[in-house]
């Protein structure tokens, strides 16, 4: 939580114009407030000590009223400039994060926890309002305004100037000291708060379980306990920030009181003039106000700064694969050499070792238990994940290249891919894409470009679902809402396959394409796979049913690495131990 994060300032570039307007408006307001003080003290002094009547001060009062009108207009302007200043910066950040998360792909830090990331992108970034709209402009004003006020006071009374000049710098000094002292404490407590809100999530998710065991009602005590910890930790943070405001406020008001009493007493002794005294009294608080506002706005911006920290964690994660090389057109051969994938936050490798050459026109079946790295292999081939060891060489048109050197967008354009858990979004992210939009996503059209219907029908037929779509009244216009638009799980699976096949591909990667399919649908998919290979594609398919293996040319088995035993193995081991025990006659060990 740095008060002036250069990364945040970079995003402020785009909104510089509005920030400047905000600062200018603030500075002009400060000048007008000085004028207002002058007019007020003039009017009062002339009536009280010079015996002036209403006629003599009327012009001053009219001018004063005009000053208020000008201030009102400026206040209105300031609000507009502030919101525009933050809006642009926020939009750029938001877009940047979405773009980067999509570029990082499914293994990136954003896509791993979609719910949390979505909150960050929406509410988290919104919380930066306080930073861009209030804190940044105020920071500049906190330098300009006190100097202007101080110079004005200097023209009136030296002693007051000295009092203000001595106490004023104490405010930032105090702020920094208090900030340093409390930072670790505040950080720790924010962590506790996030743990507590995790508890509530846990409770909501576990509610059916608690109810089944008759423990749901008694959780009220747990909520009360969590609530009181929530309160005490939050109050711990707040007490610190209230105490720092108390210190700053005391410093400011006592300094103003010091000025007031000092000018009052000197006035009584005739050392200064009445107009000067009143003018200085009205000016003094204006010197402290901007600095106190900086502190206030910084506290308000703290939440946004916390969010910004997490935003930059995402933005600073490098995109894994990025070369410029474009492989020539034609059938593609893929050679996986001793591939190993490890994630820094996991102890076990996601993919231990894999070696395979997949040639055009063949089907490679990948089998094995869960956690063996079958989907990871496909993720590496798609460029979502970088290998930790080993490499992948691709060959086409007589040339060869390391996968890492390829222009990843071009490479992905040559791949037809069916993920294990497919979503069927439309490219416009609308709530209910039509079947044509969802399947057409695979055809990789440009923005706003409709995919020709015959291409979609070809894809649907290739996935063995064309006739079923023709049989529906709404056909290609079928709305794929959250419930799948009346399609069964198996049909949706084949729609995802159709999407993968919506444009001709040299490489076909299918992750359990027959999961959740009835035998008839399974046959349709199996023949689609055979057809793809027959037309020269390089097909790699994660298989868990014999029907798919029947059409394979080679099989690659992947299993989790290390000492991890599958429950099945445990049972076999246990059975073996039991039989050994029986054979030695007794349980003497």
Partner 1 sequence: MSGIEVPTTGRRSRPMAALWRSMSDQRWELAAAGLLGAFASASAVALLGASAWLISRASEMPPVLTLTVAAVTVRFLALSRAVFRYAERLVGHDAAFRGLTQLRIGVYRQLERLAPSGIAHFGRGDLLARLVADVDAALDLPLRIILPWAQAVLVALATVLFLVWLSPTAGLVVGVLSVVALALTPWLVGLTARRAEARMAPARGRLTAAVVRALDATPELSAFGAAGRATARVRTLDDEVTSLNERQAFALGVGGGLGILVQGAAVSAALAIAVPQVTAGTLEPVWLAVVVLLPLALFDVMATLPASALALQQLRGSARRIAELAEVPAPVAEPAAPSAVDDTFRGLRLEGMGAEWVAGTPALRRVHLDVRPGQWVAVVGPSGSGKSTLAAVLMGFLSYTGSVTLSGTQVRDADGDDARRHLGLLSQQAHIFDTSIADNVRIGRPDATDDEVAAALHAAQLTPWLASLPDGAATTVGSFGVAVSGGERQRIALARLLLADRPFVILDEPSEHLDGATADALMDTLAEALADRTVLLITHRLRGLQAADLIVELGAGEVVARGRHEELLAAGGWYAEQWYAEVDREDMAELVPRLPVGRAVPWPGRSGAR
User: Which residues within the stretch 349-368 sit at the binding site for partner 1 (CB under 8 A)?
Assistant: 352-357, 363-365, 367-368
Q: Which of 399, 400, 474, 518 binds partner 1 (CB under 8 A)?
A: 518
Compare residues 249 and 399 and give the one whose CB is closer to partner 1: 249
Please, are residues 171 and 246 in contact by the beta-carbon 8 Å criterion? no
* Angstrom distances, CA of residue 511 to CA of 198, 365, 543: 33, 10, 7
Under rule CB under 8 A, which residues in 482-501 are in contact with partner 1? 489, 499
Compare residues 6 and 214 and give the one whose CB is closer to partner 1: 214
Compare residues 2 and 249 and give the one whose CB is closer to partner 1: 249
Compare residues 143 and 489 and give the one whose CB is closer to partner 1: 489
- 316 lines the binding site for partner 1 (CB under 8 A): no
- 441 lines the binding site for partner 1 (CB under 8 A): yes
- 422 lines the binding site for partner 1 (CB under 8 A): yes
- Pairing relationship of beta strands 389-396 and 538-542 according to DSSP bridges: unpaired
Compute the distance between CA of residue 555 and CA of residue 536 in angstroms, rounded to an integer. Answer: 19
Q: Which of 188, 231, 535, 582 binds partner 1 (CB under 8 A)?
A: 231
Q: Which of 13, 197, 326, 405 binds partner 1 (CB under 8 A)?
A: 197
* Residue 2 C-beta: closest distance to partner 1, Å: 26
Long-range contacts made by residues 94-100, C-beta under 8 angstroms, separation at least 24?
94/121, 94/122, 94/125, 96/315, 97/121, 97/125, 97/311, 97/314, 97/315, 100/314, 100/315, 100/317, 100/319
Of the listed pieces 18-26, 146-154, 169-177, 427-435, which binds partner 1 according to CB under 8 A? Answer: 427-435
- 31 lines the binding site for partner 1 (CB under 8 A): no
Compare residues 148 and 263 and give the one whose CB is closer to partner 1: 263
- Pairing relationship of beta strands 389-396 and 399-402 according to DSSP bridges: antiparallel
Please, are residues 162 and 48 in contact by the beta-carbon 8 Å criterion? no
Q: Which of 4, 6, 115, 318 binds partner 1 (CB under 8 A)?
A: 115
Q: Which of 31, 143, 176, 257 binds partner 1 (CB under 8 A)?
A: 257
Compare residues 28 and 111 and give the one whose CB is closer to partner 1: 111
Per rule CB under 8 A, count of chain residues that contact partner 1:
167
- 44 lines the binding site for partner 1 (CB under 8 A): yes
Compare residues 72 and 143 and give the one whose CB is closer to partner 1: 72
Please, are residues 560 and 569 in contact by the beta-carbon 8 Å criterion? no
Name the residue among 375, 381, 369, 368 with its Cα closest to residue 336: 381
* Angstrom distances, CA of residue 164 to CA of 36, 173, 270, 277, 283: 20, 15, 22, 14, 11
* Angstrom distances, CA of residue 504 to CA of 46, 190, 253, 416, 508: 90, 52, 75, 8, 10
Q: Which of 98, 154, 170, 479 binds partner 1 (CB under 8 A)?
A: 98
Under rule CB under 8 A, which residues in 399-418 are in contact with partner 1? 409, 412-413, 415, 417
* Angstrom distances, CA of residue 404 to CA of 334, 384, 411: 13, 11, 11
Of the listed pieces 177-185, 392-400, 468-476, 543-551, which binds partner 1 according to CB under 8 A? Answer: 543-551
- 535 lines the binding site for partner 1 (CB under 8 A): no
Q: Which of 34, 263, 307, 459 binds partner 1 (CB under 8 A)?
A: 263
SS3 370: coil
**Which helix (H) or strand (E) is 450 found in, with range?**
none
- 544 lines the binding site for partner 1 (CB under 8 A): yes
- 557 lines the binding site for partner 1 (CB under 8 A): yes
Please, are residues 503 and 370 in contact by the beta-carbon 8 Å criterion? no
Please, are residues 478 and 486 in contact by the beta-carbon 8 Å criterion? yes
- Pairing relationship of beta strands 363-367 and 538-542 according to DSSP bridges: parallel
Q: Which of 6, 214, 318, 586 binds partner 1 (CB under 8 A)?
A: 214
Under rule CB under 8 A, which residues in 368-387 are in contact with partner 1? 368-371, 382, 384
- 159 lines the binding site for partner 1 (CB under 8 A): no
User: In 145-293, which ranges are E strands?
Assistant: none
- 201 lines the binding site for partner 1 (CB under 8 A): yes
* Residue 177 C-beta: closest distance to partner 1, Å: 18
- 147 lines the binding site for partner 1 (CB under 8 A): no
- 344 lines the binding site for partner 1 (CB under 8 A): no
Q: Spell out the SS3 assignment of 137-151.
A: HHHHHHHHHHHHHHH
- 61 lines the binding site for partner 1 (CB under 8 A): yes
* Residue 140 C-beta: closest distance to partner 1, Å: 20
Q: Which of 242, 467, 504, 581 binds partner 1 (CB under 8 A)?
A: 242
- 245 lines the binding site for partner 1 (CB under 8 A): yes
Please, are residues 381 and 315 in contact by the beta-carbon 8 Å criterion? no
Q: Which of 447, 562, 585, 588 binds partner 1 (CB under 8 A)?
A: 447
Q: Residue 365: beta bridge partners? A: 541, 555
- 162 lines the binding site for partner 1 (CB under 8 A): no
- 281 lines the binding site for partner 1 (CB under 8 A): yes
* Residue 496 C-beta: closest distance to partner 1, Å: 9
Residue in the structure block whose two tokens are 């290390």: 562
Compute the distance between CA of residue 372 and CA of residue 352 in angstroms, rounded to an integer. Answer: 8
Compare residues 470 and 570 and give the one whose CB is closer to partner 1: 570
- 2 lines the binding site for partner 1 (CB under 8 A): no
Compute the distance between CA of residue 470 and CA of residue 565 in angstroms, rounded to an integer. Answer: 48
Q: Which of 19, 38, 110, 521 binds partner 1 (CB under 8 A)?
A: 110
* Residue 209 C-beta: closest distance to partner 1, Å: 4
Q: Packing angle between helix 136-154 and helix 158-167, nearest 10 degrees?
A: 150
Name the residue among 195, 189, 193 with its Cα closest to residue 236: 189
Q: Which of 4, 173, 180, 429 binds partner 1 (CB under 8 A)?
A: 429
Compute the distance between CA of residue 257 and CA of residue 159 in angstroms, rounded to an integer. Answer: 14
* Residue 121 C-beta: closest distance to partner 1, Å: 5
* Angstrom distances, CA of residue 43 to CA of 25, 33, 34, 40, 130: 26, 15, 14, 5, 39
Q: Which of 246, 477, 577, 580 binds partner 1 (CB under 8 A)?
A: 246
> Cβ contacts of residue 140 below 8 Å, gap of 6+?
23, 26
């Amino acid at each position: 939580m740095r008060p002036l994060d250069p990364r945040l300032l970079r995003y402020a570039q785009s909104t510089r114009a509005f920030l400047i307007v905000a600062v200018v408006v603030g500075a002009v307001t400060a000048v007008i407030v000085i004028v207002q003080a002058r007019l007020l003290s003039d009017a009062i002094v002339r009536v009280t000590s010079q015996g002036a009547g209403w006629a003599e001060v009327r012009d001053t009062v009219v001018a004063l009223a005009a000053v208020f009108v000008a201030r009102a207009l400026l206040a209105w302007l300031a609000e507009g400039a502030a919101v525009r200043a933050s809006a642009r910066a926020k939009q750029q950040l938001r877009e940047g994060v979405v773009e980067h998360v999509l570029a990082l792909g499914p293994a990136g830090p954003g896509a791993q926890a979609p719910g949390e990331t979505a909150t960050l992108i929406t509410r988290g970034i919104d919380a930066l309002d306080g930073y861009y709209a209030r804190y940044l402009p105020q920071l500049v004003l906190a330098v300009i305004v006190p100097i202007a006020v101080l110079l004005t006071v200097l023209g009136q009374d030296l002693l007051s100037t000295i009092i203000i000049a001595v106490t004023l710098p104490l405010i930032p000094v105090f702020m920094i000291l208090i900030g340093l002292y409390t930072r670790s404490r505040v950080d720790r407590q924010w962590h506790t708060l996030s743990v507590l809100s995790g508890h509530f999530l846990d409770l909501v998710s576990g509610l059916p379980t608690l109810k089944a065991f008759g423990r749901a009602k008694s959780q009220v005590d747990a909520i009360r306990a969590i609530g009181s910890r929530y309160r005490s930790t939050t109050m711990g943070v707040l007490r610190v920030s209230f105490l720092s405001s108390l210190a700053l406020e005391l410093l400011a008001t006592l300094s103003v009181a010091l000025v007031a009493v000092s000018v009052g007493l000197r006035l009584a002794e005739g050392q200064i003039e009445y107009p000067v005294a009143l003018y200085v009294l009205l000016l003094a608080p204006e010197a402290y106000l901007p600095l106190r506002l900086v502190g206030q706005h910084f506290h308000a911006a703290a939440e946004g700064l916390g969010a910004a920290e997490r935003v930059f964690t995402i933005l600073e994660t490098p995109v894994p694969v990025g070369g410029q090389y474009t492989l020539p057109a034609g059938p593609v051969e893929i050679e996986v050499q001793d591939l190993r994938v490890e994630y820094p936050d996991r102890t076990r490798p996601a993919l231990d070792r894999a070696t395979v050459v997949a040639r055009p026109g063949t089907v490679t079946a990948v089998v094995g238990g869960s956690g063996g790295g079958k989907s990871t292999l496909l993720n590496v081939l798609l460029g979502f994940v970088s290998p930790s060891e080993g490499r992948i060489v691709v060959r086409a048109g007589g040339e060869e290249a390391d996968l890492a050197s390829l222009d990843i967008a071009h490479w992905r354009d040559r791949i037809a891919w069916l993920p294990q858990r497919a979503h069927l979004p439309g490219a416009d992210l609308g709530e209910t894409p039509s079947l044509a939009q969802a399947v057409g996503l695979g055809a990789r059209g440009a923005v706003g470009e409709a995919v020709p219907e015959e291409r979609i029908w070809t894809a649907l037929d290739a996935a063995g679902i064309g006739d079923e779509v023709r049989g529906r009244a709404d056909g290609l216009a079928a709305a794929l809402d959250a419930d799948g638009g009346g399609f069964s799980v198996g049909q949706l699976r084949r729609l995802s396959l159709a999407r993968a096949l919506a444009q001709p591909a040299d490489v076909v990667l299918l992750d359990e394409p027959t999961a959740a399919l009835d035998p008839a649908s399974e046959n349709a998919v199996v023949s689609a796979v055979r057809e793809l290979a027959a037309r020269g594609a390089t097909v790699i398919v994660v298989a868990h049913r014999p029907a798919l293996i029947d059409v394979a040319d080679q099989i690659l088995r992947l299993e989790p690495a290390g000492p991890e035993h599958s429950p099945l193995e445990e049972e076999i081991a246990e059975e073996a131990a039991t039989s050994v025990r029986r054979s030695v006659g007794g349980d003497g060990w």
